[in-house]
Structure formats: C-alpha cells, structure tokens
Amino acid sequence: MKLNRNLSQRLGFGLITLMATLTVIPIIVVVIYIITQGGGAISLEFLSGFPHDGMRQGGIMPAIIGTFYLTLGTAVFSVPLGVAAAIYLAEYAADNWLTRTIRIAIINLSGIPSVVYGLFGLGLFVLFLKFGTSILSASLTLSIMTLPVIISTSEEALRAVPQAFRTVSISLGATRWQTIRRIVLPEALPGIITGVILGLERAAGETAPILFTGAAFFLPRLPNSVFDATMALPYHLFVISTQVPEMPFQIQYGTALVLIAFVLGMNLIATVVRSRARARRQW
Amino acid sequence: MESNLGWKEYIITRAIRVAGYSAIVFVTLIFYFLLREGLPTLAEVKLPELFALRWYPIEKYFGILPLISGSLIVTIGAALIAIPFGIGTAIFISEIAPRWAREILKPLVELLGGLPSVVLGFLGILVLAPNLRLLLNLPTGLTALTGSLLLGAIAVPTVVSVAEDALDSVPRSYREGAWALGATRWQTIWRVTLPAARSGVLTAVMLGVGRAIGETMTVMMVTGNAPVLVTSLGGLFSPVRTMTATIAAEMGEVANGSVHYHTLFFIGMVLFIISLIVNVTASAVVFRSQKRAERVLS
C-alpha cells in the first residue's frame, strides 16, 4: 500500500512534469527558430527601405512605422479612458448591480473575437462615422479591444495601494480627487504602466481588427494623416505569407522576427518596470 | 479659489464616472452594430437557406452550417490539446515546480500568450503543415488538425493563467490538513487542491475554449479554407473553413450593404453571442465561488 502510494505519486508527478515540459519546449524552439531563420534578413536596408518588386525585395520600413502609428493611436484613446475607468472602479464605484454590470461588460469585451471588433470598426468608424479605412478607424477599433486589459490591470494596481494611504491623506484635509491624484496614482503608476504596455502589445500584434478598418496591402509612401490607411507589420506578414507567390523565405522570417521583437520588446519593458517597482516598494 | 477647486473636482469626478460606464456603452454599441448590419440577412435569405449545407456566396448559397461545423471541429481539437496541457502546466507551476522552475515557466507561458497569432499562422504554413502532410500522408497539410494544434497553443496561456490563479487561491491549510492526515503530495493535489479549485479550473477551460472559437488569423492561414460540412472527427484531417476565417477572408471583397455583407455580419453576431454566453457563464461561476469562499472564511 505504501509503495503503491509512492509509485502513483511518482507517476503523477512525472506525467505533470512531462506535460509542462512539452508545453514550454515548443515555445523556446519557435522563438529560437524564428531568430535563426530571420536573423540573416535583418539589415539597415531591410529596416529602413520600402518594399519593391512586388514586395519580394527591399525593406519593411512602412510596415514598422505603420505599426508604430497604430500603437500610438491606440494609446491616445485607450490609456486615458482605460485608466479613468479603472479609477472609477477602484476608488468610486459602490458594490451594486451597476458595478457588477460594468464588470460583466469588461469581461465580455475581453472575450469578443478580434475579427468581430473588425466588423464593429467597419460598421461604426469606417462607414457610419465616415472615417474611411484609416489609421484613425483602426486605432479606435484597437483601443476598444485593448480597453479591458488596461482597465483590469490598472484597477488591480490601484487596489494594491494600501487603504491607510488614502485615510491619512483624507484626514489631512485633501479631497478625494487630490488623494487619488497625489497619493494613489503615483504609487500605482508602475503597475498601470505595466498594464498599459501589455494591452498595447496585444494591439500591436493584432491583424483581424485592422483588416477592414485601416490596413493597406501596399503603399508606396508613408501615410500623411490619420485619415490615410497604413501598412502594418502583422498584416504585412499575413500578406507576404499567403498572398504573394514565390516570396523569399528570408524576408518572411525577417518580418516575423521584427514583429516578435517589437511585441516581445514591449513585454520586456513591462516586465522590467514591474520588477523594478516591486524592488523599490516600501509597503 | 475654494469654489474653483470644487468645480474642478466635480468635473473630473464626472469624467471618471462616465469613463467607468464606457465598457457598458461599448458592448452595447458593438451588439447594436452587429444587429443593424446582420439582421437584414434574415429578411434577405430564407432561414432554411441560411442553415443549409452549402456556403458559396458567388452563386448565392449562404448556408452557414459548414462554417459552424468547421469552427466546432477546430475548437474541439484545440480544447483536447489546451485543456490537459494547460491544466497540467498550471498544476506543475502552482504545486510541483521548485521556485527556480516557476520563475522560468511563467514568463515563457506569458511569452506564448504574447506571440501574435499571425506569427503562429505563418509558422503553421511554412513548418507545421508540410511536416504534418508528410507524417500523416495527407494530400494537403492545411487541415483542421493543423488549425487545432496551433489554436491549442494559443489557448494554453489563457488556461494556464486562470487555472493557476484558481489553484493558488486554495488556502494552504487545506493542503496542510491533507498532509497531516497522511496523504501524499500527489493525493493532496488530486483529491483536495484540484477539487477545491474546480470552479476556477472550469472557468479557465471555458475562457480557453472561448479564445479558440474567436481566433481568426491562425485558422484562416492554416486550415485550408474549404467550406465543407464536417460530420465526424475524421474531418480533422481535411481542410475546413471556420466562421471567423470566413469573415476575415471575404469581408474585404464584398459590396457594402449586399446580402453577402449582411450575412458576414450575421456570422459576426453569432460569434458575439457565443462569446457572450461563454463569458457570462464563466464570470457567474467566478462570482458564485467567491461568495462561497467568503462564506467559508467568515
């Protein structure tokens, strides 16, 4: 009986360990594979040039710039709105049906398929508000998609600030907003920044929401205004891996590498912000 | 000065309150626009034609059953991968792994969650599909199975993080009680910790499956895009077309306001309702278990 128990424990632990290993090893392999396959394509010309010869040669600069614009545009709308919503939920909202409805709405927003966001953006921003397929429409669409991530991570960061900080500030005569602005927000800032970057990281890598709202197959110049369509890294990778025949592998892998470097670079910044803030924290 | 401050505070508080309501506004707006553009389908395509077996919009065949079946088979395949591996990894991270292994595993799983789906689709086309074709001796590697494998990978991070949270929130005293009664660590995990965390683990599974149904780019790139009705699990080895991929692939080419356009919005509406059901149910499970935890603790 005793041996049996130990045997089953060993088998069980072995199985679970094996599954975790099988889950993680492909991730490492994939990243290393893309780096080795795409590394050769990376050059100054690749990063700073326009694509030519039906995108089979040249660089991907307009796609990089486009993704940068879209990420920035998304931040402009989603950060103020998301952080304000988080402040409402963490500092003002009472525990009633309205707050519960807001929470359910946020959970729903986070679960809506990305392509449905694309449809919504097409219906509201592109056609109804007549923004056209543009950076503006795509950024607004991505903003709403990003909102739940920013709200929930920011709320968590705000809630982590000890209640005593607020009590002391209020008792010294500060108003509620002064307390939030001067005491709570600065303390929660690293957590909020982490959440914002994680949200924007998702926006930067998405393709489906921008398919019909702002992504261009190919543009010979950079966009001039927010009402222009733009090339974007994820859409460009989709295009060159499915729509362009006889595409050189190296450019495809190079594009994939730049995209994951962009996205994982943001992830890395978020991780650094978080761990530095944790190390400095005194409460 | 005093009243000035009061005004400023009043306006800011108002603005924050409005921002707080924004999530409700957006969900309503999304649903409204899907209905507005999707419901005309019901007037333009007869119901039996809408739930027919053929999707061929150019010839005016708007049967969405092949697309639903495609989404189903790919999602089932993905769930069969993501559930065991996701929960297994969560158990490993939360219960078994030494500290150093946890510090490596968690960021790696997050990294997988951060990989854009288009990158996985790209690798699916260039690496996974050709190898699967050779391995299984299929006419094409772009099949439901390829989609399932990649979707499984996409759903894993969701399952791991939610399930791990659930396991983590089981009070340590439960485990200590089991050990004190002579249970092995494995028995404790299997008989005490996992059952105690079951509502959270269930939520993890639901959210993972929801993530898989809604995934677009990867499936569009690797499943071969043939709108064929799938009737058995054997369909895993042939090309299929999911609801999400259909919208993404065809919306760019339809005329605004056409029957085809409305039907694609109708499919979007179906997807929205599915995700609504999944997420409301999942959050109901979470709320209920929180209430129970409060009761136990008080």
Which of the 8 DSSP states describes residue B224?
A: B
**CB A59 within 8 Å of CB A226:** no
Say if the Cβ atoms of A113 and B156 lie within 8 Å: no
- With residue B62 as reference, give the H or E element that holds it: strand B61-62
The model carries a pTM of: 0.91
Instruction: Kindly state the tokens that stand for B177.
Output: 């009680």
Q: Which residue in A116, A156, A233, A257 has the most chain B C-beta atoms within 10 A of its own C-beta, making it the best mutation to test that interface?
A: A116
The mean pLDDT value for A226-244 works out to 93
Our separate counts of H helices and E strands in chain B read: 15, 2
Q: Which residue in B7, B9, B17, B216 has the most chain A C-beta atoms within 10 A of its own C-beta, making it the best mutation to test that interface?
A: B216
Say if the Cβ atoms of A16 and B26 lie within 8 Å: no
| From A110, A112, A259, residue closest to B116, measured CB to CB | A259
- Return the number of other C-beta atoms located less than 10 Å from residue A140's C-beta: 26
**Distance of residue A224 Cα from the nearest chain B Cα, in angstroms:** 23
Please report residues of A whose CB lies closer than 8 A to that of B8: 177
3-state secondary structure of A12: helix
Please report residues of B whose CB lies closer than 8 A to that of A258: none
Say if the Cβ atoms of A85 and B23 lie within 8 Å: yes
CATH topology of domain B65-297: MetI-like fold (1.10.3720)
The mean pLDDT value for B101-114 works out to 88
Q: How many CA atoms lie within 13 A of B272 on its CB side?
A: 25
pLDDT digits (tens, 9 = 90+) for B168-226: 989 999 999 999 998 999 999 999 999 999 888 999 999 999 999 999 999 999 998 88
pLDDT digits (tens, 9 = 90+) for B158-184: 999 999 999 998 999 999 999 999 899
3-state secondary structure of B132: helix
**CB B250 within 8 Å of CB B57:** yes
pLDDT at A274: 83
In chain B, which among 38-77 make CB contacts under 8 A with chain A?
Answer: none
pLDDT band at B3 (very low <50, low <70, confident <90, very high): low
Chain A residue with the nearest C-alpha to that of B110:
A267
pLDDT at A113: 95
The residue assigned the tokens 């910790």 is B193
CATH class of the structural domain A60-280:
mainly alpha
Instruction: Kindly state the tokens that stand for B72.
Output: 């189903």
pLDDT at A57: 86
The residue assigned the tokens 């449905």 is A116
3-state secondary structure of B143: coil
| From A33, A102, A237, residue closest to B24, measured CB to CB | A102
pLDDT at A279 over 90: no
| All structural domains of chain B with their residue ranges | 65-297
**CB A266 within 8 Å of CB B132:** no
Say if the Cβ atoms of B114 and A263 lie within 8 Å: yes
pLDDT digits (tens, 9 = 90+) for B16-38: 999 999 999 999 999 999 999 99
pLDDT at B58: 84
Say if the Cβ atoms of A212 and B252 lie within 8 Å: yes
The mean pLDDT value for A93-114 works out to 92
What CA–CA distance (Å, rounded) separates A234 from A182? 39
Chain B residue with the nearest C-alpha to that of A140:
B26
pLDDT at B69: 93
The mean pLDDT value for B6-12 works out to 88
**Distance of residue A203 Cα from the nearest chain B Cα, in angstroms:** 9
3-state secondary structure of A58: strand
What CA–CA distance (Å, rounded) separates B135 from B240? 19
Say if the Cβ atoms of A115 and B125 lie within 8 Å: no
pLDDT at A22 over 60: yes
pLDDT at A153: 92
Q: Which residue in B17, B35, B92, B156 has the most chain A C-beta atoms within 10 A of its own C-beta, making it the best mutation to test that interface?
A: B92
Q: Give yes or no for B92 touching A (CB within 8 A).
A: yes
pLDDT at B111: 87
Q: What is the largest CA-CA distance in chain B?
A: 80
